[in-house]
């Protein structure tokens, strides 16, 4: 039997409704934030690149409280000796230097960064960062960030998940619906509900900032 377009539309709406409504009737949609390549610095790294006593210049608050984009931009260089310029620094300062890029970026730079949780840089790829006052050569520190979801404890309770758990989500609001597996949940009282993906993932499904995913019911 051939289904008319109106019938198909109603089926799709019903399926999406089943995914996006929890047992309490609340929406289980999760907004998405797209993360472009960026750099985190510690105090020593900042002063190597910009000079002694230099301070970051915040220009825009990010979605997660206390995090911000900075005016400062740097150049990345890998073994290919091809540079990626204008890579933004994010604040505040951290305990370790870290560079987050996409798979596409890794092809340009000829580096092989592992997919990691932010902060887990042990044994990751080397990278060179060039600044206006100096050059920072990292023996490790370049990663591709894993897909992850920031949640508050109350959000975690609503979604019935715990910190460090891995879940699957449906990316239904883009132009190419797909399912992402093994998305890490991060829970902290200061976190705001948002899933983070890189530009490769976002472009693959036609996502923009604010697009939505829903957890897959198992």
The tens digit of pLDDT for each residue in 40-83 reads 999 999 999 999 999 999 999 999 999 999 999 999 999 889 99
Give pTM, 2 decimals. 0.85
Assess whether 45 and 128 both reside in one domain. Answer: yes
Quick one: average pLDDT of 104-126? 97
Show the beta-strand stretches assigned E in the chain.
Answer: 30-35, 38-40, 58-61, 68-77, 83-91, 98-100, 115-116, 125-130, 135-145, 148-151, 166-171, 178-187, 194-198, 212-215
Which domain range does residue 119 map to? 36-144
84-107: average pLDDT: 98
Query: Of the residues 85, 110, 144, which one is the last residue of a structural domain?
Result: 144
Express each pLDDT in 140-161 by its tens digit.
Answer: 999 999 999 999 999 999 999 9
Reported as a pLDDT band with limits 50, 70 and 90, residue 10 is low
Same domain? 119 vs 203: no
């Amino acid at each position: 039997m051939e289904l008319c377009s109106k019938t198909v539309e109603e089926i799709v709406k019903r399926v999406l409704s089943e995914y996006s409504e929890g047992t309490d009737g609340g929406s289980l949609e999760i907004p998405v934030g797209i993360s472009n390549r960026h750099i985190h610095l510690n105090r020593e790294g900042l002063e190597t690149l910009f000079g002694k006593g230099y301070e970051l210049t915040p220009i825009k608050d990010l979605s997660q409280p206390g995090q911000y984009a900075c005016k400062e931009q740097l150049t990345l260089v890998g073994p290919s000796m091809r540079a990626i310029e204008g890579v933004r620094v994010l604040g505040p300062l951290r305990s370790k230097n870290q560079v987050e890029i996409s798979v596409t970026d890794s092809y340009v730079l000829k580096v092989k960064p592992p997919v990691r949780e932010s902060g887990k840089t042990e044994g990751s790829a080397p990278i060179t960062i060039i600044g206006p006052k100096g050059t920072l050569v990292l023996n490790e520190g370049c990663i591709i960030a894993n897909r992850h979801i920031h949640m508050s404890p109350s959000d975690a309770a609503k979604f019935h998940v715990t910190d460090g758990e891995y879940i699957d989500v449906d990316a239904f609001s883009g132009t190419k619906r797909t399912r992402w597996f093994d998305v890490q949940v991060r829970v902290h009282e200061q976190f705001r509900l948002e899933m983070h993906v890189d530009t490769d993932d976002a472009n693959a499904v036609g996502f923009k900032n604010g697009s939505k995913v829903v957890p897959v019911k198992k």
